[in-house]
Chain A
Amino acid sequence: QVQLVQSGAEMKKPGASVKVSCKASGYSFTGYYIHWVRQAPGQGLEWMGWINPNSGGTKYAQKFQGRVTMTRDTSTRTGYMELSRLRSDDTAVYYCARDLLPTEVTPGYFQHWGQGTLVTVSS
């Protein structure tokens, strides 16, 4: 079955960077987009961007342009999301999610989700 297992909780100081991993299993890793979505405490869902694990191509939400980098390692079937210049309002649970449809089809729905990684930014 499809599984996405994320790295553990992180505590960072303002101005630092964080890198969250998402290890995939149970499907063709290069066949589906991986998205990153975050959720601040008590708030709604916010899409951050995606990576095409086949090509390495990325697209980021405008809000995160210049601060976020999404990468992947096909040998270990792992996606990564790095967020830099952290602020207190970046405190959130960060989720990776696999798209519903294969990369040949226009993506944009999130069928399988990781368990989430809490990133806390505090001085």
Chain B
Amino acid sequence: EIVLTQSPATLSLSPGERATLSCRASQSVSSYLAWYQQKPGQAPRLLIYDASNRATGIPARFSGSGSGTDFTLTISSLEPEDFAVYYCQQRSIWPRVTFGGGTKVEIK
């Protein structure tokens, strides 16, 4: 099974700052990686798929990069509504899907 390790576990930043979240895979997942945002009491929301494609309706301040085993989600300038938990997810070894453990972006 592919293990996805997200870092850091918690990121403390202020609105307007840049957020950089990391996701590392235990083996190559090519570009078959997605990022989700989840706020308390809500279902997750797809942000990025295939490593760098923004999903419909996702603001341009969210961007994804990487391939193979190392991936990054960047939020260029944090808005108040961006403080949430972010998960990466791979579909490389289909039909086995796995999620990372999550990174919480909190207000500093």
Contacts and interface: CB of A to CB of B under 8 A. Distances in A.
Interface of A: 35, 44-47, 50, 59, 61-62, 95, 97, 100, 106-111, 113-116
Contacts of B91: 106-109
Interface class of chain A by DSSP: strand
Contacts of A46: 99
Given A100-B55, A108-B32, A110-B44, A61 B49 contact: no
Contacts of B89: 45, 47, 109-110
A62 to B, nearest CB: 8
A116 B43 contact: yes
A45 B46 contact: no
Contact of A110 (B46, B56, B95, B100): B46
B101 interface: yes
A47 B94 CA distance: 12
B34 A45 contact: no
B96 interface: yes
